């Protein structure tokens, strides 16, 4: 925790404060409970059956409804912000995100990050910091692990550059490395009328595209309530007084809020893809603001059996979210660049039950 000279206020780390191999334990641990699950439901309208109904969860093999994967992710992520990205210019990307253990109401999550990459930019004003962050539960078990890299300001432009270190990251999480957060599923008990879809793993074809149809408009109160629920303190989301004078003239919506909205929209077409097992990569292509309406579509970019498991299969899904533009024609590129309304390009592995 770096301090300003005159006070006890945390000013966040600058580029030259990071050291390769350093482990950072983050404040504040957080117990997730049924109230958090209700709020998450009310913020996104998510309807995946195991997370919605204890009866459904138990019928297929969970001890109770798990906490939504992205709620757990946002909470683990939020803790890293004061130490890693308070002085970030940009959140550049994330990769190799694996959901390792289920999270249940009552579990307490804490976060720790290891600095695995440092590279000063040629302008000498900023550098790219890469961290591998891990969320642990109250038993010290890792529940989520992921890598992200951010561009961080230097405090002192003349500070010497560290030796450049750029970690090698997988283009996608290997199938052998996913699924441990999903207990054995009783696929015969996976009731398609209750879950909202008859489609099983085998029903999704490589290259299949799904327009999720619905649109959802975002309000300032909603994204701020969500982002505070995650104890994410990044200033750009909350402070209109400063953001009004900034680049966009308004508060920026947390990228994870966009991911959760897109995931909730994807229920319409992917209702049985009930568990996010890994996030291969994500790119926040453009900012989303209050008043914008989010739409989404998905493509099945890979399908894979899981080693040793006959209960579920893995769908690698690329979900594209747009603002103020329906996705019936699957917008993505305009020449080299993204289509102007695209805001999110997300690549993840989800599990769906196999046919009985």
Query: What part of residues 146-185 is at the interface with its own copies (CB under 8 A)?
Result: none
- Which two three-digit tokens encode residue 50? 């195991």
CA distance 117 to 124: 16
Return d(Cα 41, Cα 47) in angstroms, integer: 8
Decide: is 125 part of the binding site for its own copies (CB under 8 A): no
Residues 16, 43, 87, 113: which binds its own copies (CB under 8 A)?
Answer: 43
- If one asks whether residue 341 binds its own copies (CB under 8 A), the answer comes out as no
Per CB under 8 A, 195 contacts its own copies: yes
Residue 343 phi, psi dihedral angles, 5° rounding: -115, -25
Find the binder of its own copies among 63, 165, 176, 239 (CB under 8 A): 239
Selected from 28, 125, 307, 340, the binder of its own copies by CB under 8 A is 28
Compare residues 4 and 125 and give the one whose CB is closer to its own copies: 4
CB of 66 within 8 A of CB of 137?
no
186, 50 in Cβ contact below 8 A?
no
Least distance (Å) between residue 121 CB and its own copies: 26
Establish if 245 lies at the interface with its own copies (CB under 8 A): no
- Which residues, 6 or more positions from 259, have their beta carbon under 8 angstroms from its beta carbon? 70, 282, 344, 346
Q: According to the binding rule CB under 8 A, does residue 69 interact with its own copies?
A: no
Binding residue for its own copies, selected from 20, 22, 53, 93, defined by CB under 8 A: 53
Shortest distance, CB of residue 174 to its own copies, whole angstroms? Answer: 27
In the complex, minimum distance from the CB of residue 173 to its own copies, in angstroms, rounded to a whole number: 24
- Residue 217 interacting with its own copies (CB under 8 A): yes
Nearer to its own copies, 27 or 89 (CB): 27
Contacts of residue 212, defined as CB under 8 A and 6 or more positions apart, other chains included, come to 265, 266, 267, 268, 269, 270, 295, 296, 297, 298, 327
Q: Are 227 and 255 in contact (CB under 8 A)?
A: no
Which span (159-167, 173-181, 238-246, 304-312) binds its own copies, by CB under 8 A?
A: 238-246
Number of H helices, E strands in the chain: 9, 14
The residue from 141, 202, 219, 334 that contacts its own copies (CB under 8 A) is 219
Token pair in block for residue 61: 């093999």
Span from 93-101, 126-134, 262-270, 312-320 in contact with its own copies (CB under 8 A) = 262-270
Q: What part of residues 265-304 is at the interface with its own copies (CB under 8 A)?
A: 268-271, 291, 293, 295
Distance (Å, whole) CA 266 – CA 261? 9
DSSP assignment string, 210-224: EE----EE--HHHHH
> Residue 127 or 195: which CB sits closer to its own copies?
195
Q: Phi and psi at residue 223, in whole multiples of 5°?
A: -70, -30
Q: And the tokens for 284? A: 């926040």
Beta-bridge mates of residue 319: 298, 346
263 binds its own copies per the rule CB under 8 A: no
Per-residue contact track with its own copies, 79 to 118, x per CB under 8 A? Answer: ---x-----------------------x-x-x--------
Q: Does 65 bind its own copies (CB under 8 A)?
A: yes
Q: How far, in Å, are 8, 56, 207 from residue 102 at the CA level? A: 37, 16, 30
Task: Give CA–CA dist 74/245, Å, rounded.
Answer: 28
Q: Please, which residue, 173 or 264, has the CB nearer to its own copies? A: 264
Question: Quick check: 2 binds its own copies (CB under 8 A)?
Answer: no
Residue 41 sits in the site that holds its own copies (CB under 8 A): yes
**Quick check: 120 and 161 in contact, CB under 8 A?**
yes
The site for its own copies, by CB under 8 A, has a size of 87
Q: Does 198 bind its own copies (CB under 8 A)?
A: yes
Instruction: Give 156's Cβ-side CA count (13 Å radius).
Output: 6
Smallest gap, in angstroms, from Cβ of residue 301 to its own copies? 16
Stretch that binds its own copies, among 5-13, 161-169, 170-178, 347-355 (CB under 8 A): 5-13
Distance between CA 143 and CA 25 in Å, rounded? 16
């Amino acid at each position: 925790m770096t301090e300003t000279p005159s006070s006890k206020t945390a000013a966040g780390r600058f580029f030259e404060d990071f050291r390769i191999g350093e482990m950072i334990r983050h404040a504040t641990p957080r117990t997730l409970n049924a109230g958090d699950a209700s709020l998450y439901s009310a913020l996104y309208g998510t309807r995946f059956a195991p997370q919605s109904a204890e009866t459904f969860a138990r019928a297929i093999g969970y001890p109770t409804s798990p906490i939504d994967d992205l709620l757990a992710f946002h909470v683990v992520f939020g803790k890293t912000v004061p130490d890693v990205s308070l002085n970030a210019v940009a959140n550049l990307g994330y990769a190799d995100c694996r959901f390792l253990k289920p999270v249940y109401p009552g579990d307490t999550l804490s976060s720790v990050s290891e600095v695995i990459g440092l590279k000063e930019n040629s302008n000498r004003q900023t550098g790219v910091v890469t961290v591998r962050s891990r969320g642990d539960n109250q038993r010290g078990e890792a529940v989520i692990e992921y890598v992200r890299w951010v561009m961080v300001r230097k405090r002192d432009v003349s500070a010497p550059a560290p030796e450049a270190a750029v970690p090698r990251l997988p283009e996608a999480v290997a199938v052998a490395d996913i699924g441990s957060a999903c207990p054995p599923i009783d696929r015969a008990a996976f009731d398609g009328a209750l879950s909202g879809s008859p489609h099983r793993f085998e029903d999704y074809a490589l290259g299949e595209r799904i327009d999720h149809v619905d649109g959802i408009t975002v309000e300032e109160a909603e994204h701020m309530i969500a982002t505070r629920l995650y104890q994410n303190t990044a200033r750009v989301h909350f402070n209109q007084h400063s953001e009004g004078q900034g680049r966009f003239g308004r508060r920026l919506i947390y990228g994870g809020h966009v991911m959760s909205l897109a995931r909730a929209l994807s229920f319409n077409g992917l209702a049985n893809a009930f568990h996010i097992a890994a996030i291969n990569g994500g790119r926040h292509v453009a900012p989303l603001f209050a008043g914008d309406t989010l739409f989404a579509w998905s493509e099945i970019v890979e399908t894979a059996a899981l080693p040793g498991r006959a209960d579920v299969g893995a769908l690698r899904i690329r979900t594209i979210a747009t603002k103020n533009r329906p996705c019936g024609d699957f917008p993505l590129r305009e020449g080299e660049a993204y289509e102007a309304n695209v805001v999110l390009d997300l690549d993840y592995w989800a599990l769906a039950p196999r046919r009985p």
